Structure 1
Amino acid sequence: MIEAVIWDFGGVLTSSPFEAFARYETERGLPKDFIRGINATNPNTNAWALFERSECTLDEFDELFAREALAKGHDVRGRAIVELLSGDIRPAMVEALKRCKARFKVGCITNNVSAGEGAGMARGHDKAAAVAEVMSLFDHVIESSKIGMRKPDPRIYQLACETLGVSPSACVYLDDLGINLKPAAQLGMKTIKVVEPAKALAELEAAVGFPVG
């Protein structure tokens, strides 16, 4: 019996920052997936991990990321990457969230950084307002930058369940990264990987047993 649906934010309810990374790499003549490669190297201790746990400032992240990029042969500042993080709202996903909220508890677990406006790291007044409206739908939002813990640490999923007052086996969890879905599945959650939104929504509909779009 499903009692809660828990959502990642970036790449699920908004377009993926990986799309912005790819455009940036193309524009700058960088190797494909260069940015993701940096973020995947020493994933628990690199600049990205430190920033998402608020263990470094934006200025420090800018410098640390630049060093990691230079070690791989290219000059990329951390601040430039932060500018790419705020995606566009996916209306169909938001509609699904609203329909789930009408029947279940809904929560959000987001790996984010203390940049931009609010949990969604939005930039610009209009986008910030749109993101804030979506964030207001959740019963609870867990932000890595506020609690000093980030996915895929199993504790962050356990915290979400405890906060919502549900067991992992009564939850559906959506994320765009397999590495973040694995620990959720190991805890007993039904997991959905969001690559193509339409496919993910079909899987969500099957999991909850009612139309979500």
Structure 2
Amino acid sequence: MATRPPNSRYKAVVFDIGGVVVGSPFLGIAAYERAHGLPRNYINCLITAYGENGAYQRFERGEIGLKQFYDVWGRELNNVERGNAAYNAYCAKRSLPPPAALPSSLKIDARDLFGQMMRQAATMDAGVVRAIQRIRARGMRTIALTNNYSKEDEGGAHAPDAHDRAHLGWEEGAVPTRIRELFDDWVDSSTEGLRKPDPEFFLLACRRNGIRPDEVIFLDDIGANLKAAAQLGMTTIHVPLEGSARALKTLGEKLGFDVTSLPAAKL
């Protein structure tokens, strides 16, 4: 019978999904920016500028459906005054020289952008999958804590049609079963009405699984999420863009066993 390592104080490993278990949507955003001549990180700055009331954040909390999301997000993405102000603030905060010229107008297609983001996030990281399997084989809990869209799989009048699903790479659903089944628990922002970095979202995952924050290792690719988790007492590991191997090495060191030694995962 598999047992948790006796030298480990940890009871669970909590994984972000996009950018950790699957490809990063940020790569899709970066590709869209390059294709349309936008400064690097311009779109991320614009999304962040709307705060928790932005269309992207509301969609992740399941407050609006896909088609309404496209409509509202499209208007937000094409607000050039807000976009330029957000990008100038981003450059100033990081002491970066601003570009010689910022856009005078924007024609960002929300549906095309989101499709590019989702298709980029369709590929699973084989090394991370092996690590999850290895951790579960040791009797530890594996939990997904994800800003995601599984509510879109529930059906209803506003659910994505076959054309939308093909465009997004969601033929198996917004959250395919083969990904869900990797985890003992799947804690999804769209069904819980909470999203990272809200501390209550992290605490919800702990309560559901009977664990304390200090018994958790949390992996994510976004600094604000890691900061929120650390403030609650979780041990955190940053997964850099396309840099999961280093993060898994750190994870193994903290757990006290190799998390990469299973045979090749079946994806």
1:43 deviates by 2.0
Say if 1:158 and 1:168, in contact at 8 Å, map to a contact too: yes
Conservation of the 8 A alpha-carbon contact between 1:113 and 1:145: yes
Structure-2 residue corresponding to 1:85 = 118
Aligned: 1:123 with 2:169: yes
TM-score between the two structures when normalised by the length of structure 1: 0.91
Write the mapping of 1:157-176 to structure 2, written as runs, cut at 5 A. Answer: 157-176=202-221
What is the alpha-carbon distance in structure 2 between the residues aligned to residue 201 and residue 211 of structure 1?
Answer: 9
Q: Contact between 1:89 and 1:130, CA under 8 Å: does it hold in 2?
A: no
Number of residue equivalences? 210
Could you tell me how far 1:187 is from its partner in structure 2? Answer: 0.8
CA distance in 2, matches of 1:62, 1:184: 30
Distance between the aligned counterparts of 1:109 and 1:138, measured in 2? 10
Structure 1 unaligned regions, length at least 5? none
When the two chains are superposed, the root-mean-square deviation of aligned CA atoms in Å is 2.2
Q: Is structure 2 residue 20 aligned with structure 1 residue 12?
A: yes
CA contact (8 A) 2:151 2:190 kept: no
Q: Is the 8 A contact 1:142 1:160 kept in 2?
A: yes
- TM-score between both structures, scaled by the size of structure 2: 0.73
Which structure 1 residue ranges, 4+ long, deviate > 4 Å from structure 2?
114-118, 127-131
Asked if 1:97 corresponds to 2:132, the answer is yes
TM superposition shift of 1:70: 1.6
Amino acid at match of 1:58: L
**Residues in 2 aligned to 1:124 and 1:166: alpha-carbon distance in whole angstroms:** 33
Q: How does 1:28-177 map to 2 (within 5 A)?
A: 28-72=36-80, 73-83=105-115, 84-86=117-119, 87=121, 88-103=123-138, 104-113=140-149, 123-125=169-171, 131-177=176-222
User: Is contact 1:65-1:77 (8 Å) kept?
Assistant: no
What is the letter of the counterpart of residue 114 of structure 2? V
SS in structure 1 of the partner of residue 194 of structure 2? coil
Q: Provide the rounded CA distance (Å) in 1 between the counterparts of 2:175 and 2:54.
A: 31
How much identity, in percent, do the aligned residues show? 36
User: Does the CA contact (< 8 Å) of 1:65 and 1:76 recur in 2?
Assistant: no
Structure (1 or 2) with the larger CA radius of gyration: 2
Cα 1:116–1:105 shift into 2, 3 Å: same
